[in-house]
Amino acid sequence: MTEQLRLMAVHAHPDDESSKGAATMAKYVSEGVDVLVVTCTGGERGSILNPKLQGDRYVEENIHEVRRKEMDEAREILGVSQEWLGFVDSGLPEGDPLPPLPEGCFALEDVDKAAGRLVRSIRAFRPQVVTTYDENGGYPHPDHIMTHKITMVAFEGAADPEKYPESEFGPVWQVAKVYYNQGFNRARTEALHEGLVARGLDSPYGEWLKRWDESEHVERNLTTHVPCADFFEIRDKALIAHRTQIDPDGGWFKVPMDVQKELWPTEDYELAKTVVPTSLPEDDLFAGIRDNA
């Protein structure tokens, strides 16, 4: 291998990097891969989901600053670099009918213009691999869907000096592979649920599976399973650093660690774009790249 391997993970909000692919990133950091998290928004409109912090006036009035500090801590735990694209959180619209999105928010930005910021980051960092969300955002949050849109435009645009001139956006760079995070997949959920039930333990996944059945949940194509069980503890520690967004006593952490490692020791992805040959299924995001780097 003659060139440093680099992985870029593009996420919508601070905390997304710790709940989607965090163990994978920690694994690659341990192997010497340069990993950069790009966070599109500051999470300014995120709800305080940890009941222990709900009603905390300082946190409520300084949520943007608090979430930046949480991101700093999570970044250190994972061992990654991180940068902000600087867009404003759109919030999650609720109600029937849904209210309009707030003016100036990320989801209302012009896609090509917004993608230009990510093009600059890609051309500066020069990642061989980029991870992001599928066209549904993983779940239909407007910022997650917008993150998908700008990432796919930036994948093409980073290699296009006509659409994004080098004089403004830096020297062109061809990303080799783009993956969608698919950690919340049915196969994993069923394996954990059935394994917990067989052990006589409570499962937090029964309601998930029921909702999926009722909504005719469509499963994605899982192409890549990265073994990273040794880094699940680091993943959880990074997620807990986002104190406003996660209850350390909540359902997220109900599955014993040894059970997780035994039943589903991978994080899972969908290969969305590649310009290098590879053989599916994969166990490495850099499959097809390492030999040619």
Nearest to 224 by CA among 277, 287, 176: 287
* Mode of pairing for the β-strands spanning 129-132 and 177-181: parallel
* Mode of pairing for the β-strands spanning 129-132 and 81-87: unpaired
Residue 8 in contact with residue 131, Cβ under 8 Å?
yes
Q: Consult the annotation and say whether 291 binds a ligand.
A: no
Q: How far apart are CA 88 and CA 64, in angstroms?
A: 10
Tally of CB atoms within 10 A around 93: 14
Helix, strand or coil for residue 273?
strand
Q: Which residue's structure tokens are 């052990």?
A: 199
Which H helix or E strand runs over 87? strand 81-87
Residue 116 in contact with residue 157, Cβ under 8 Å?
yes
Q: Consult the annotation and say whether 16 binds a ligand.
A: yes
Helices 206-214, 186-198: axis angle to 10 degrees equals 140
Phi/psi at 206 (5° precision): -60, -45
In terms of Cβ atoms closer than 10 Å to its own Cβ (0-12, 13-18, 19+), residue 122 is buried
Q: Consult the annotation and say whether 13 binds a ligand.
A: yes
Query: Which residues are documented as binding site?
Result: 13, 16, 144
Query: Which residues are documented as binding site for Zn(2+)?
Result: 13, 16, 144
